[in-house]
Each structure stands twice: as structure tokens, then as C-alpha cells.
Amino acid sequence: MRACIAISALVPLVVTSCVDLDNSMSSMRGESRYMAGYNQKREHDWKSSPIPDDVSYWDGDHLTGPASIRINLTQQKAFFYKGGQLAGVSRISTGKEGRGTPSGTYKVNQKDKYHRSSSYGVFKEKGTDRIVDDDAEAHNEPVPPGCYYEGAPMFNYLNFAPAVGMHTGYLPGYAASHGCVRMPEKMALKFFDNAVIGTPVTVER
């Protein structure tokens, strides 16, 4: 069971039995893998640095016609089209092993500018907002006593499959999400502003 335990200055490190060392260290520093993800900072426990954003670009403001989106899981890229013409390309980070982004043909069915996850996020201590667990799963574990759950930011969210969508997020250079399609903020915003409910989304391997 997790508990919101204050860390005394007299004790070098206190780790609860159900929080791993990396999580505890990040909690002590007030960091979160989810919050770091949104702010495009390097997560302390990733084994590789984010790749340079030299893949993403947008050149579609002058284009017209119906929008469509193609996501390639192998290339880790998303392509936005207007009237069949390429409007932009974004690097992405899709679902990691065991939580892969599902391939298939879909449509955008929800747009939420300031969406937050109802499943993944952080547990924070009430009163101090100190992060106790930066990798919380709301549906699979109880909120520790004295804490509350805060959903991971998934801003510029375009849902296209059950519990799966495109949104602003951290890109370490490989598939690392829980199934969603993470994008750089500037590209997530472009995709969000130019897609409408009903925009076709194709996810291919």
C-alpha cells in the first residue's frame, strides 16, 4: 500500500515498498514523467535523449480540401493531408510493447484542447501537491491515503480509437506511450486545429 510519507531531512531516503527507486527520486525532486513529457524536458530515467525535431514540419495553411491523417508505426511519423496533398509531417511516439497503438482505419470522434487522462497520471499529497507516484494508474490501484489523483496532460487531444488519440507529449525517440500517439506541441496544435470530427485516421505498420 502506498502512503503519503513526509521525507525527513534526517533520513537520506525513504522508499515505500511499492514505489521503485527512480519514481521515489523523481518524486523527491517534484518531477513527473508525465509533466516532463508535456513540457518537452528530458525524463531522468530515459536511456536515450530526445531526437532533434528535424523531421516535423507544417506547410499546409494554404491548402484546402478534406483532411485526412496517416500514422506509420514503423517510421514513427504522422502525416496530415488536405485534399490529398501533404500538409505536414510530425515525428511521434506510439504505444510501447504490450500497449501498442492499434492499426486500422478510424475517424476522429473527439476533440479536447485541454484533455487529461482518466487512467494515467500522478498521485499528489494533499496540501503540498508533492508528487508521491509519477506513474500512477487510476483504474488499477487505490489512491494512497492523504493523496489525490491528477491525470496526465494530453493537450490538443484528437481521439480516434477507444481510449487512444493524438496529443502533445514527450518523444524520447522510440515507441514509449500507453497506446496514444504523442506529438511535439507545435505539431499537435496544427493537427488539432486542422482536423475536424470525422477526419479519417489510418494507422499502419
Query: Which range of residues forms the domain containing residue 86?
Result: 31-115+154-204
pLDDT for 151 equals 87
Domain for residue 20, yes or no? no
CATH number of the structural domain spanning residue 95: 2.40.440.10
4 is catalytic: no
Domain for residue 52, yes or no? yes
pLDDT for 197 equals 98
Domain for residue 198, yes or no? yes
Q: Count of domains in the chain?
A: 1
62 is catalytic: no
Domain for residue 19, yes or no? no
Active-site pick, 4, 115, 147, 180? 180
Active-site pick, 4, 115, 147, 167? 167
pLDDT for 100 equals 92
pLDDT for 134 equals 86
For the segment 181-193, what is each residue's pLDDT rounded down to a tens digit?
Answer: 999 999 999 999 9
Domain for residue 146, yes or no? no
Domain for residue 75, yes or no? yes
pLDDT for 65 equals 97
Confidence check: pLDDT of 10 > 50: no
Secondary structure (H, E, C), the chain: CCCCCCCCCCCCCCCCCCCCHHHHHHHHCCCCHHHHHHCCCCCCCCCCCCCCCCCCEECCCCCCCCEEEEEECCCCEEEEEECCEEEEEEECECECCCCCCCCEEEECCEEECCCEEEEEEEEEECCCCCEEEEEEECCCCCCCCCEEEEEEECCCEEEEECCEEEEECCCCCCCCECCCEEECHHHHHHHHHHCCCCCEEEEEC
